[in-house]
Amino acid sequence: MNRRRGLNHAETMATSLSDCGVGWVFGLPGGEISAFIEACRRADMRVVLTGHENSAALIAQVMGQITGTPAVCFATLGPGATNLATGMANAFLDRAPLLAVTAQIPHSSYASLTHQRIAVEKMFAPITKRSTVIGDRDSCELVRECISLAIEPRPGPVMLVLPSDVANQRCPCSDGKIEPSKKRSQVQHEDSLLRLRDRIAHSERPLFLIGLGTPMVAASAVRTLVETLQAPFLVTPKVKGILPEDHPLFLGVASGMAMDRDILETIRMADLIVGVGFDPVEADKTWFTETECVAIDSVSMAEGDYHPLEAIGNMVSLAGDLAGFIEKPCPWPDGLLEERRQVLHRVPRTSGGSVSPLGLIQGLRSTFPRNGIVTCDVGSHKLLMGQFWRSYEPGTFFMSNGLSGMGFGIPAAIAAQLVYPERAVMSVVGDGGMLMMAHDLVLIRELQLPIIIVVLADNSLSLIRISQERRGYPPCAVDFCGPRFDTLADAFGIRGEKATTIAEAQLAVERALEHQTSLLLEVPVDLQEYYELV
Ligand SMILES: Cc1ncc(C[n+]2csc(CCOP(=O)(O)OP(=O)(O)O)c2C)c(N)n1
């Protein structure tokens, strides 16, 4: 007896999601999505209200990234769906597994009703791996297919559009037992791996570039590969911590972070880039047109101007096999290695009335546990966090870098804290990003999450201010008079503090860590330092 017989589409979707291990559903409802919400509630999933659909999409995708099982975000039709767009685009370009469900006006009145009618499935097609309307087939099969699609490389978002009348209609049910869909078999190409090995053997100064396609489980195999060749490595921001950044072969963080000119010079000094899960979606410059590249990855990354000699397959086996094929190490000269390491060394600015952002980041790092999880938002502070925050373990650093969308930092911290209630979680954000996502404070309080948010307050969208000035324009529409973030936090029922020195900031963070309480810490920073570092 098929236990799904007689269920409607909403119930079938919810049951299938739950059967696939989906435990969390985030969103902001409208009346038309009610049947789906009720079905999720009955299927024992946690249904969580967010203050904006973008937060729902961001929380769910970071949760999916950490756990490997997609979480769900939902929205109502029309404006609810359009509000999901930035979060979905973020999942698309940051390669994060995510399943979204939006309502749609009833199928029966679609042709006649124009109020709130947006062709949601078409709107989301370019920013999802698949975008489709529920109704003409078994929703259980469809949900399972979509979950597999969201997870398989490159991971990404899938959109399911549920017309409100279809939600309550009986779902056609395939009689046979539905097996969980199998992952595609990973074919390993030994020939390409050997060609790649030969190319590495002919190189004099290879440089590893480890990117977001490297799964956490491959960390140890990748470390063996790097240490076997004894060549230095760069990481991209989205995979910070995959190898410890106090490793003697670590030469910095590539892809548009602070000190990018120095990183590009390091890249130019190499005669071969060995990409490991490197995805050019993180590169804001096309240095790969001038430098020869080889790469291992789970899917081909060849696109645009990036055409490396690739070996495609399971990343753990590829890294392990390649390490086994390497006949002799190829280290860089000691002096050069040291010089490239030193070039990134920067001393925080001491002049200026307010706190140095770099000094603050270094101070926070020394206070925060080695395995603590940190997220950041988008802006000047992100470029410093990417380069100067030291990460030591896989999965301990999160930023938006494919889309680079403001608003990412706090939802990402919420996801991390929900997955790891016992671990220290901190989000470092600009004041612009904080204001954009202030509604998330409601959720932090509601779920009693001991997240520490540090706001680098400079009363400016500083990255854009700098960009305008570098283009020869006076600053326009970038400066603002921010609120007192400590009192804002109080208004939300969260502890708020203001620190005017690095030592005060460290003390506040230490206290919050000790008492495991949430904290919104405002630190007025000196934006002049950004002009020197970004
Ligand atoms: C949603 C979105 N809108 C606009 C931008 C363009 N943008 C990039 S950084 C930035 C400024 C962020 O300001 P703030 O949060 O104060 O951080 P800061 O630059 O001062 O560190 C803006 C507007 C963006 N990336 N994402």
Average pLDDT over residues 238-258: 97
| Strand, helix or coil for residue 512 | helix
Q: What is the mean pLDDT of the chain?
A: 95
Q: Residue 130 corresponds to which tokens in the numbers above? A: 């698949």
Q: Residue 399 corresponds to which tokens in the numbers above? A: 């930023």
Is any ligand 1 atom within 6 A of the Cβ of residue 282?
Answer: no
Residue 357 Cα: closest atom of ligand 1: 21
- Examine the pLDDT at 187 and tell me if it is beyond 60: no
Please give the pLDDT value at position 353: 77
Average pLDDT over residues 488-503: 98
Please give the pLDDT value at position 176: 45
Q: Which residues of the chain does CATH 3.40.50.970 include?
A: 9-167, 357-533
- Examine the pLDDT at 175 and tell me if it is beyond 70: no
Average pLDDT over residues 130-146: 96
DSSP element (H, E) containing 47: strand 46-49
Cβ neighbour number for residue 197 with a 10 Å cutoff? 18
Q: Which residue do the tokens 């070996």 mark?
A: 311
Cβ neighbour number for residue 70 with a 10 Å cutoff? 32
CB 461 within 8 A of CB 379: yes
| Strand, helix or coil for residue 460 | strand
Residue of 54, 88, 378 to test ligand 1 pocket, by largest number of atoms within 8 Å of CB: 378
The confidence band for 189, taking pLDDT boundaries of 50, 70 and 90, is: confident
Q: What percent of the chain is modeled with pLDDT above 90?
A: 93
Whether the upstream peptide bond of residue 340 has omega within 30° of 0, thus cis, is no
Residue of 83, 257, 406 to test ligand 1 pocket, by largest number of atoms within 8 Å of CB: 406
Interacting residues of 14 by C-beta distance below 8 A, sequence separation 6+: 36, 39, 40, 42, 43, 45
Is any ligand 1 atom within 6 A of the Cβ of residue 529?
Answer: no
Is any ligand 1 atom within 6 A of the Cβ of residue 433?
Answer: yes
Please give the pLDDT value at position 464: 98
Please give the pLDDT value at position 350: 86
What is the Cβ-side half-sphere exposure of residue 412, based on CA atoms within 13 angstroms? 33
- Examine the pLDDT at 186 and tell me if it is beyond 90: no
- Side by side, which strands form the sheet with 233-235? 250-253, 233-235, 206-210, 272-276, 293-297, 309-312
Query: Could you tell me the distance, in angstroms and rounded to a whole number, from the CA of residue 106 to the centre of ligand 1?
Result: 38
Average pLDDT over residues 442-449: 98
Cβ neighbour number for residue 470 with a 10 Å cutoff? 10
C-alpha span between 149 and 246 (Å, rounded): 36
Is any ligand 1 atom within 6 A of the Cβ of residue 65?
Answer: no
Please give the pLDDT value at position 190: 83
Residue 405 Cα: closest atom of ligand 1: 26
- Examine the pLDDT at 177 and tell me if it is beyond 80: no
Please give the pLDDT value at position 251: 98
Query: Could you tell me the distance, in angstroms and rounded to a whole number, from the CA of residue 348 to the centre of ligand 1?
Result: 23
Per-residue pLDDT tens digits for 384-434: 999 999 999 999 999 999 999 999 999 999 999 999 999 999 999 999 999
Q: Residue 422 corresponds to which tokens in the numbers above? A: 């016992």
- Examine the pLDDT at 316 and tell me if it is beyond 50: yes
Average pLDDT over residues 476-501: 98
Choose the weakest-confidence range: 161-175, 238-252, 328-342, 388-402: 161-175
The confidence band for 5, taking pLDDT boundaries of 50, 70 and 90, is: confident
Residue 382 Cα: closest atom of ligand 1: 21
- For 182, 369, 370, the CA distances from 385, given in Å and listed in that order, are 39, 16, 15
| Strand, helix or coil for residue 120 | helix
CB 170 within 8 A of CB 6: yes
Which letter does DSSP use for residue 202 in this model? T
Q: Which fold has domain 9-167?
A: Rossmann fold (3.40.50)
Q: Which CATH number fits domain 190-342: 3.40.50.1220, 1.10.760.10, 2.30.30.30, 3.10.50.40?
A: 3.40.50.1220
- Examine the pLDDT at 504 and tell me if it is beyond 60: yes
The confidence band for 36, taking pLDDT boundaries of 50, 70 and 90, is: very high
- Examine the pLDDT at 58 and tell me if it is beyond 60: yes
Question: Of the candidates 470, 469, 441, 453, which has an alpha carbon nearest to the alpha carbon of residue 508?
Answer: 453
Q: What is the CATH number of domain 357-533?
A: 3.40.50.970
Q: Residue 111 corresponds to which tokens in the numbers above? A: 């042709």
- Examine the pLDDT at 468 and tell me if it is beyond 70: yes
C-alpha span between 387 and 172 (Å, rounded): 53
Cβ neighbour number for residue 124 with a 10 Å cutoff? 26
Query: Could you tell me the distance, in angstroms and rounded to a whole number, from the CA of residue 416 to the centre of ligand 1?
Result: 22
The confidence band for 188, taking pLDDT boundaries of 50, 70 and 90, is: low
Please give the pLDDT value at position 144: 97
Query: Could you tell me the distance, in angstroms and rounded to a whole number, from the CA of residue 377 to the centre of ligand 1?
Result: 8
Is any ligand 1 atom within 6 A of the Cβ of residue 379?
Answer: yes
Closest protein CA for atom 23 of ligand 1? 461
Q: Which residues of the chain does CATH 3.40.50.1220 include?
A: 190-342
CB 288 within 8 A of CB 273: yes
Q: Identity (one letter) of the amino acid at 387? A: Q
Average pLDDT over residues 288-304: 94
Q: Cα–chain-centroid distance for residue 354?
A: 31
Please give the pLDDT value at position 1: 46
Q: Higher confidence at residue 5 or residue 50?
A: 50
State the pTM of this model: 0.96
